[in-house]
Amino acid sequence: MSGGRGTGPAALRDKAAALDATDPLRHCRDLYVPADGLVAYLDGNSLGRPLRATAQRITNLVAHDWGTRLIRSWDEQWMDLPLRLGDRIGEVCLGAAAGQTVVGDSTTVMLYKLLRAAVAAAGPERPEIVVDTENFPTDRYVAQGIADETGARLVWVEPDPAKGVTPDLVEAALTERTGVVLLSHVAYKSAWIADLPEITRRLHDAGALVLWDLCHSVGVVPSDLDEHDVDLAVGCTYKFLGGGPGAPAFGYVAARHHERLRQPIQGWMGHAEPFVMGPDYRPGAGMRGFISGTPPVLGMVGIEDTVDLIESVGLDAVRDKAARLGRFVIESVDELLAGHGVRVTSPLVDEQRGGHVTLAHPRFREVYRELWAQDVVPDFREPDGIRLGLSPLSTSYAEVAEALVRIEALLSAG
Amino acid sequence: MSGGRGTGPAALRDKAAALDATDPLRHCRDLYVPADGLVAYLDGNSLGRPLRATAQRITNLVAHDWGTRLIRSWDEQWMDLPLRLGDRIGEVCLGAAAGQTVVGDSTTVMLYKLLRAAVAAAGPERPEIVVDTENFPTDRYVAQGIADETGARLVWVEPDPAKGVTPDLVEAALTERTGVVLLSHVAYKSAWIADLPEITRRLHDAGALVLWDLCHSVGVVPSDLDEHDVDLAVGCTYKFLGGGPGAPAFGYVAARHHERLRQPIQGWMGHAEPFVMGPDYRPGAGMRGFISGTPPVLGMVGIEDTVDLIESVGLDAVRDKAARLGRFVIESVDELLAGHGVRVTSPLVDEQRGGHVTLAHPRFREVYRELWAQDVVPDFREPDGIRLGLSPLSTSYAEVAEALVRIEALLSAG
């Protein structure tokens, strides 16, 4: 029995099969390491699946680059890897010309470094940092910490539940004392896509700098950083970029700021001449100066492979499938789950929604636990949200349908 | 023809073979991934070799823990891994009771976090940071950066070329305004072992805190941090702990300081309740509060395996072989290379020398390049040093002998 407007599980599964059959990215699914026993994986926006190529390359890296070439691999390939891979992410996913993106550190640490740099560059006359209350916790906590240590003041923007963080809301928070605005391109809970071009334009008009958090957009929603004159950005690589658990972040700093911005964690790897090991720190030119310590090589393999795959199919095709998967969720909820009182808390319009859809229902905490027990794996978000991550390269319509059918059955079973 | 006191290459190789045959750790060498084509690896103090078990476990981790369990692995094993593995390093290598060691970040970032915490705890009445001029560049650069941003002042200790950083030299630098002393347990160039117990005692008498850098001692020289009342320590895991290229650092903070010390990079992973994602940052109890971002899981496998191996043979046995390998180098230089003017710039007394021996000669820059071309891989250190890293678990006497024979041949041919 269906709890919605009449479309039952069988019809939904048929519809998903038809969509999978004509999906232009369907061949990509076979490129991933098979996940035996997993019925549906809908958490690729927390931890993306590994490509078979990545599994093979990591095995080879341990045996050859690490195990045999050993320290020589630093000379042969690893010293410039953070910059080379940064450039690839920039080229394929960010619309960023070479020399502005670097890979390294955790997202939290990279965010700290770039926000410290931006706050210092904004100067004491502009001590206000604008953040939104629905930004990812690390963004809020890092900003709080930096405010405490630098004397900056946080100015909070409350997103509109029906529109997310709009240009008008941001503009209302701007003053002559605004130094830096820290926002997420795609909201981690709701999937609202912020209007990055318009927000960036307005805050520039007010004399502020922007630091965009691209964690939930990179690899699934284009950001075109150069075109929109973005100042700084950070992002995560273990979601849509396939870097694996705890893979390093990336940081972007527009070339026009390189001379002016200095990050605070002065390590030997960011030195202009790392192996001279001289008495004083002198930051390397461009993005080298934004490196601190030795970069985690094993975590970079999957990023490289996933960026290659995104390039081969085109980021627009990935974006398009994310929108279609989301629309499929929304239509299916309407047909199958609305009668149970399930609400869609993500934007209904494709152009406003990133690579996930969040549904809400008072019983979702227990439903979520049951789903996991059935090897159907979405995410839970406080207080009552089930977040369906839609990774266009690895997620099938059939997986999405199966998750929704199971949710319906669990709600029906009461 | 030999350039030294008469012992030729053949005799040296024979001596090495005899030492290898009676080496109590000789079985360990077979546990490592074979490095085809490599004649002698003497840079395990820059990048340690991978264990076969690690290669296998990383392959399995990608296929199973990452590829199949996916996000569920965070619940099942990874959330506590930085603390669990920290405890293992503490137990086996540092003489540290559980709950005081955590794994994460690069060494540079971990050092920054702990030094910032220590400087803040020392307070404005004690704004002086004591550092030595031969400390590893990152230590000096991080300290400079923190001095610049906090208004602290660096007080430099110049090591005695014949004795390293002695307690008397450190004591001479202490004042009523000394807040923190940052020193390396084993010096990266010379391998001098600092007198950690005595230096810690004297600086405590002066009311200062100590932060020991254990990068070049952990896994080869015991430090007994709890016994000697050390305050803080950091260390590197890709040298003697086998974590692989760019594997994460560890940090140690004595339990008595947990309430008082706060690190500056407030990330969601260090929050008391990471998944509540509430409005304010509240640091987790104990070492959780010293975590910032998502820890790099792939880089922790090798550490775990190597720590297990060290435990199984005993750290004292590892330390003993490091001393014997070093003595073998020193005796062999005396016999084979002294006539060429090669000098040993590391301590000659076993108890004063860590896990490497540095030799000096005006022609070593070119000799080093030639050695690499012959697949004999030591390290070069400015201005004229060849540093022979002696990893007791993976290095044979035969490798050491071969390197010295090749050096002799190159100097003779020169």
DSSP sequence for A27-59: GGGGGBPP-TT-SEE--TTTSPPPBHHHHHHHH
Q: Which domain CATH number covers B164?
A: 3.40.640.10
Lookup: tokens for B411:
């100097």
**Mean pLDDT, all residues of chain B:** 96
Establish if A21 belongs to a structural domain. Answer: yes
Partner residues linked to A383 by β-bridges: none
Instruction: Find all residues with CB under 8 Å of A11, minimum gap 6, and list them.
Output: none
Same domain? B205 vs B109: yes
For residues A333 and A380, state if they share a domain.
yes
Q: What is the pLDDT of residue A210?
A: 98
Residue B36 phi/psi, 5-degree rounding, is -60, 135
Q: Which one, of A52, A23, A25, A30, lies nearest residue A242 by Cα?
A: A52
Nearest to A266 among B141, B271, B379 (CB): B141
Q: What is the pLDDT of residues A384-411, one digit of tens each?
A: 999 999 999 999 999 999 999 999 999 9
User: How many CA atoms are closer than 13 Å to the CA of A123, on its beta-carbon side?
Assistant: 5
| All residues at 6 or more sequence positions from A156 whose CB lies less than 8 Å from its CB, including other chains | A130, A131, A132, A133, A173
pLDDT for B199: 98
Rounded distance between C-alpha atoms, residue B205 and residue A359, angstroms: 61
A366 is in which domain, residue-wise? Answer: 9-52+314-413
Query: By the CB < 8 Å criterion, does B41 face chain A?
Result: yes
Six token digits for residue A105: 């550190």
Q: Is the dihedral of CA A168, A172, A173, A176 positive or negative?
A: positive
State the best of B64, B265, B368 to mutate against chain A, taking most chain A CBs within 10 Å.
Answer: B265
Span B119-144, mean pLDDT?
96
Partnered with residue B358 across adjacent β-strands are B387
Chain B residue with minimal CA distance to A110?
B293
Q: Return the number of other C-beta atoms located less than 10 Å from residue B21's C-beta.
A: 9
Question: Given CA atoms A284, A288, A290, A295 in this order, what sign does their dihedral have?
Answer: negative
Q: CB distance from A277 to chain B under 8 Å?
A: yes
Cβ burial of B151 (10 Å; 0-12, 13-18, 19+) is: exposed
Domain closes at, from B279, B311, B343: B311
The Cβ-side half-sphere exposure at A82, using a 13 Å CA radius, reads 29
pLDDT value, residue B99: 98
**pLDDT, tens digit, for every residue of A51-109?**
999 999 999 999 999 999 999 999 999 999 999 999 999 999 999 999 999 999 999 99
Same domain? For B37 and B152 the reply is no
Which of B264, B263, B265 minimizes the C-alpha distance to B252? B263
Residue B275 has what pLDDT? 84
pLDDT at B6: 55
Query: Is there a single domain that holds both residue B336 and residue B271?
Result: no
Which one has a higher pLDDT value, A306 or B279?
A306
Q: Do B108 and A58 touch (CB under 8 A)?
A: no
Residue that the structure tokens 């987790």 belong to: B284
Residues of B in contact with A246 (CB under 8 A): 78, 294-299
Share of chain B above pLDDT 70, in %: 99
A288 and A318 in a single domain? The answer is no
Q: How many helices (H) and strands (E) does chain A have?
A: 12, 13
Chain B residue with minimal CA distance to A274?
A: B137
Decide: helix, strand or coil at residue B11: helix
Closest among A395, A409, A241 to A326, alpha carbons compared: A395
Complete DSSP assignment for A94-105: I---TTSEEE-S
Q: Is residue A384 part of a domain?
A: yes
Residues A89 and A204 in one domain: yes
What is the distance between the alpha carbons of residues B34 and B43, in angstroms, rounded to a whole number?
15
Task: Please provide residue B380's backbone torsions phi and psi, each rounded to the nearest 5 degrees.
Answer: -110, 140
Task: Report the residue of chain B nearest A32, measured CA to CA.
Answer: B67
Q: Are residues A148 and A249 in the same domain?
A: yes
CB-CB under 8 Å, B62 with A59: yes
Amino acid A255: pLDDT: 98
Q: What is the model's pLDDT at position B7?
A: 74
Q: What is the pLDDT of residue A2?
A: 42
Give yes or no: residues A122 and A170 share one domain.
yes
As for the ipTM of the complex, it is 0.96
Q: Which two tokens stand for residue A85?
A: 């891979």
Which of the two residues, B277 and B220, has the higher pLDDT score? B220
Tokens for B30?
A: 């077979």
Question: What is the C-alpha separation between A252 and A211, in angstroms, rounded?
Answer: 9
User: pLDDT averaged over chain A?
Assistant: 96
* Per-residue pLDDT tens digits for A120-173: 999 999 999 999 999 999 999 999 999 999 999 999 999 999 999 999 999 999
Same domain? B301 vs B182: yes
Q: What is B43-109 written as a DSSP string?
A: -TTTSPPPBHHHHHHHHHIIIIIIIIITTHHIIIIITTHHHHHHHHHIIIII---TTSEEE-S-HHH
Confidence class of residue A278 from pLDDT cuts 50, 70 and 90?
confident
In a domain, A89, yes or no: yes
Q: How high is the pLDDT of residue B3?
A: 43
Residue B414's pLDDT is 73
> In angstroms, rounded to a whole number, what is the distance separating the alpha carbons of residues B197 and A287?
41
| Contact status of A140 with chain B (Cβ, < 8 Å) | yes
Which helix (H) or strand (E) is B403 found in, with range? helix B397-413
Q: Do the Cβ atoms of B264 and A112 come within 8 Å?
A: yes
pLDDT in tens, A336-345: 999 999 999 9
Q: Calculate how close chain A gets to B72, using CA atoms only, in Å.
A: 8
Domain annotation covers residue B105: yes
Count the helix, strand and coil residues of chain A and give each as a percent rounded to the nearest 5. Answer: 45, 15, 40
CB contact B272 to A (< 8 Å)? no
pLDDT at B83: 98
Sheet with B209-213, strands from edge to edge, namely B101-103, B250-253, B232-235, B209-213, B178-184, B128-132, B153-157
Percent of chain B's residues with pLDDT above 90: 95
Q: Is A109 inside any structural domain?
A: yes
CA distance A275 to B379: 11
What are the helix (H) ranges across A228-362?
301-313, 315-332
Identify the pLDDT of residue A19: 98
Chain B neighbors of A278, CB-CB under 8 A: 137
Does B285 lie in the same domain as B184?
A: yes
Do the strands A153-157 and A128-132 form a parallel or antiparallel pair, or are they unpaired?
parallel
**pLDDT given for residue A48 in this prediction:** 98
Q: Per the structure, how many domains does chain B have?
A: 2
Residue that finishes a domain, picked among A283, A311, A339:
A311
CATH of the domain at A24: 3.90.1150.10
Q: Look at residue B218 and tell me whether its pLDDT is greater than 50.
A: yes
Question: Which of A294, A304, A394 to mutate to test binding with chain B, by most B CBs within 10 Å of its CB?
Answer: A294
A376 belongs to a structural domain: yes
State the Cα–Cα distance between residues B153 and A180, nearest whole angstrom: 30
Q: Is the pLDDT of residue B1 over 50?
A: no
pLDDT at A3 over 70: no
DSSP tag of B382: T
Tell me the pLDDT tens digit for each residue of B39-84.
999 999 999 999 999 999 999 999 999 999 999 999 999 999 999 9
On the 0-12 / 13-18 / 19+ scale of CB atoms within 10 A, A366 is exposed
End of a domain among B311, B337, B361? B311
Does B296 share its domain with B320?
Answer: no
CB atoms within 10 A of CB B34: 13
State yes or no: pLDDT of A373 exceeds 50: yes
* A7 or B307, which is more confident: B307
- Per-window interface: A 313-372 vs B, CB < 8 A: 372
Query: Does A73 fall in a domain?
Result: no
Active site members of A? 136, 213, 238-239, 387
Report the C-alpha gap between A175 and A304 in whole angstroms: 41
**What's residue A275's pLDDT?**
84
Is B259 a domain residue? yes
Per-residue pLDDT tens over the stretch A289-322: 999 999 999 999 999 999 999 999 999 999 999 9
Check whether residue B327 and residue B229 sit in a common domain.
no
Which residue in B222, B200, B233 sits closest to B101, CA to CA? B233
Distance CA B373, CA B328 (A): 24
**Nearest-by-Cβ selection for B137 from A145, A149, A271:** A271
